[in-house]
Amino acid sequence: MFEKLQKAPLDKIFKLLAEYRADERTDKIDLGIGVYKDKNGNTPIMSSVRKAEKQIFDEATTKTYIGVSGNRGFCDAIADLVFDNSVDGSRISSVQAPGGTGSIWVLLQVIKRARPNGKIWISDPSWPNHYPMCQLAGLEPNYYPYFDHETGKVKFDEMLACLDGLSEEDTVLLHGCCHNPTGANLTNDQWDKVAQSLKRTGAFPFVDLAYLGFGEGLEQDAYGLRKLASTQPEMMLAFSASKNFGLYRERAGVAFCIGKDQLAADIAFSQMGNVVRASYSQPPDHGAEIVRVILNDKDLRKEWEGEVKEVRERVKYLRKKLANAIRERSNSSDFDFIVEHSGMFSLLGLTLEQVNELKKQSAIYMLDDSRISIAGIPEEKIAQMADALIKITR
């Protein structure tokens, strides 16, 4: 049977990682994979997470099934963290899912059931998994204008003009904060305009929230999604705890539906549960329980908020240091946009040829579209990076 198929293309990020690992040069730099690295180059387990894990180890009494909708305490704590009081709680329903990806998957299935012929709109460019996930769910993905490669900023007028032309059959997938891959984000004023546009056209908002707290702060990063939650009759949101709790491999996420009223939210809940049961039956509990413990314990929560702040400030510091190093060497402000971006990534706007040359000449590895993971920059190699970037773009 299998010989009738062809090998599926390797995910770009994992292909790059394999290339990086095979490179024997000792001064090589990996800017590809989207994980946070501390100043020692490690992706550490947060101290609040370790403490919560110890508590769970000491106190848990069973490993019996958790149920289709997962860890309810986790979902409720994330609902509070994300939405605060922006929407009446009776209109929100949620299921825990395996990470942000699992949450997006469950929600796409529900969209497909409700709007079998609907179109879904994703930013140009977007997280590389959005497009294939929409396709696999049987939804037709389209791009709305988003990133201006010349200026490193959001092409907001073009984006808004596109959104203004949508209808009630359309779904718009928006990055809640810390846009991946570009690093360029909407201002609060632009979020207000997006909310007005969606309200006017009736297009359905779907927010992907994978980096809450990594941009400007836990509250500031929630501005856009809360604006939507407080103004739109319906919406969806996929939350990931992979990055902001450092729980990448534990697969903790939440799929949220906001309905017009409680009845609509209940219907959405049963549909999500039905998808989950037929997909993987129930989500893994360990990561979710860690988050539940942290968010419900005053001291642990404070400690976690401090740890998120530390990550956020380190990423900002690395952004500044890289942009300064380039400016000092080149006397040009061409890469100043790196400081204006926020979150783990920046899209540098290089050509594929330049990206390949950087790999060949300087052992610097970034994604083909020139996305770099700022959160993975080794600080001691910033000068080397700046020199290489100037050389390649001169």
Given the rule CB under 6 A, which residues bind ligand PLP?
34, 99-101, 127, 175, 180, 208, 210, 240, 242, 253
Report the C-alpha gap between 259 and 74 in whole angstroms: 20
Nearer residue to ligand PLP within complex by CB, 34 or 283: 34
**Intra-chain end-to-end CA distance of the chain, in Å:** 52
Active site residue 127: yes
Ramachandran category for residue 343: left, alpha or beta (phi over 0 → left; psi -120 to 50 → alpha): left
Choose the catalytic residue: 51, 227, 243, 359. Answer: 243
Cα(94)–Cα(104) distance, rounded to whole angstroms?
Answer: 12
Q: Which residues pair with 175 in a beta bridge?
A: 208
Output the smallest distance, CB 32 to ligand PLP, in A. Answer: 12
The question of whether 105 is a catalytic residue gets the answer no
Q: How far is the CB of 203 from ligand PLP (least distance, A)?
A: 20
Tell the smallest beta-carbon distance from residue 394 to ligand PLP (Å). 32
Comparing CB distances to ligand PLP, the nearer of 13 and 114 is 13
Q: Is the peptide bond before 181 cis (omega within 30 degrees of 0)?
A: yes
Least separation in angstroms between residue 241's CB and ligand PLP is 7
Place of tokens 């700022």: 374
Catalytic residue selected from 30, 170, 208, 221: 208
Cβ neighbours around 285 below 10 Å, total: 21
Radius of gyration, alpha carbons of the chain? 21
Q: Are 156 and 192 in contact (CB under 8 A)?
A: no
Q: Could you give the strand order of the β-sheet that contains 204-209, starting from the edge strand earlier in sequence?
A: 92-97, 253-258, 235-240, 204-209, 170-175, 119-124, 140-145
Residue from 127, 268, 285, 325 carrying the catalytic annotation: 127
Give start and end residues of each alpha helix (H) in the chain.
Answer: 12-22, 47-59, 72-83, 99-114, 130-136, 156-164, 188-201, 223-231, 262-279, 286-295, 298-330, 337-340, 352-362, 382-393
**Which among 210, 238, 288, 386 is annotated as catalytic?**
210
Q: Provide the token pair at 165.
A: 């032309």
CA atoms within 13 A on the CB side of 153: 10
Cβ of residue 249: shortest distance to ligand PLP, in angstroms?
Answer: 9
| 208 assigned to active site | yes
- Catalytic residue annotation: 127, 208, 210, 243
